[in-house]
Chains A and B, each alone.
Chain A
Amino acid sequence: MPDDIITELLLRVARQDRAAFRQLYSEAAPKLTGVLLRILGNRAEVDDAMQDVFIKVWQRAASFQPDKGRGISWMIAVARNHALDQLRRRPAAAGMFRAEARDAEGQDPLEQVADGAIGVEQGMIAQGEARRVVDCFATLEEERSAAVKGAYIEGLSYQELAERFEVPLNTMRTWLRRSLMRLKECMDQ
């Protein structure tokens, strides 16, 4: 399984193994590029962000705990965090709105998420944790499930979600908070 390779490489990178670092780049760069592109929404910022992300990976690899999750999940968390930070620093972010849909294929990301085309179900059925995510999301109302997924996958803010779903900001907050608590109960069972 490729994820095992990434975990193994990450553990070697934690011991300052430069050869492992190069191989880790080959293994993980396509996925992390996908993450950054999806959240940042344009290729122009992705290359700089990728450099920053891999520098953080090198510097923080020692804090990766293999018993807490898979290597690729840890790396994606680093990449998402970096991309969200970039996004929230953009001058436009102060006004909360993003003009363009940030989906590479030009589709409305939330539609994609809502109809299950995002592939959460695909290829990960064997993974217990992913199976549980899918099952737990299924317990939420469809729109709320799509809002949570849209927030996570696209990095949409409360304000942007409220716009997309045409509900007041406070309603969106309530939706998401209740959904998150429901997900937690379901997943921690």
Chain B
Amino acid sequence: MTQSGDHTPEETPEQRDDLLAAEYVLGVLTGADWRAAAERAQVDGAFAALVAQWEERLAGLNEAYAAVPAADLMPQIEARLFPAPTRARRRWFTGFAAAALSASVVLAVVLWPQAPAPVQVQLVGEDARFVADYDGAALEFALALDAAGEGRDYELWAIGDDGVPRSLGLLRGPVTRVEAELLAGVTLAVSLEPAGGAPGDLPTGPVLATAVLPSVN
């Protein structure tokens, strides 16, 4: 659905681009024309400048939009932009690993009849491999590697559609249970971090292994 045939011969390429920018800002394009213009606005600086000029020219029309009561979506927005580091979980691992592990064993026994069959997820990298079972509520890791090394920890991350990694906690000890409600298709990754985990909200060390979580039956 290109419109190349619609233009009169006397239009210069500059005029054509300017019109296209105007049509794009106005919002009248559809289908392939819309997508092509949107992509050009991203990658073609000269075209983006034309778009910005039209946005400015037509900005006076913005008065037509009435302000309406808005939902408070800041908690969701902040949760997506700045995922909280899972400090509680880290303490959980370092301080109460043994107690918590036995508790989870009890829970697993009690809940076993209702629990869905776990799926196995294998996080594979060049030199590392982590294998876990996921039952819809927690990942159960058996570390196939030696400890991360002096002053280092493995940290597990979940990366959703927004591409922002969220820490699920550290992987320490021979078996590590990480409680997390995860959607199938989320990417799991293990990075090598300073002891105690990445200091900020995002991984700092090399990513050792990744996998996409399969769906739980």
Contacts and interface: CB of A to CB of B under 8 A. Distances in A.
Q: Report if A and B associate in a common complex.
A: yes
Interface of A: 18, 22, 25, 29-35, 37-39, 47, 50-51, 54-55, 58, 68-70, 72-73, 76-77, 80-81, 84-85, 88, 93-94, 96, 104, 113, 118-120, 122-124, 127, 129-134, 148-149, 151-153, 155-159, 161, 170, 173, 176-177, 180-181, 183-184, 187-188
A120 B61 contact: yes
A156 B28 contact: yes
Contacts of A22: 74
Interface of B: 3, 6, 18-19, 22-23, 25-31, 34-35, 38, 52, 55-71, 73-74, 76-78, 80-82, 162
A188 B38 CA distance: 24
- Chain A contact residues: helix, strand, loop or mixed: helix
Given A73-B59, A134-B60, A155 B27 contact: yes
B77 A88 contact: no
A76 B65 contact: yes
Contact of B63 (A30, A93, A130, A173): A130
5 contacts: A33-B70, A33-B71, A51-B73, A119-B64, A153-B65
Contacts of A85: 38
Contacts of B58: 133, 152
B46 to A, nearest CB: 15
A122 B63 contact: yes
A156 B77 contact: no
A38 to B, nearest CB: 6
Given A33-B69, A152-B27, A180-B22, A73 B56 contact: yes
Given A50-B71, A50-B73, A170-B6, A120 B64 contact: yes
A68 B50 CA distance: 12
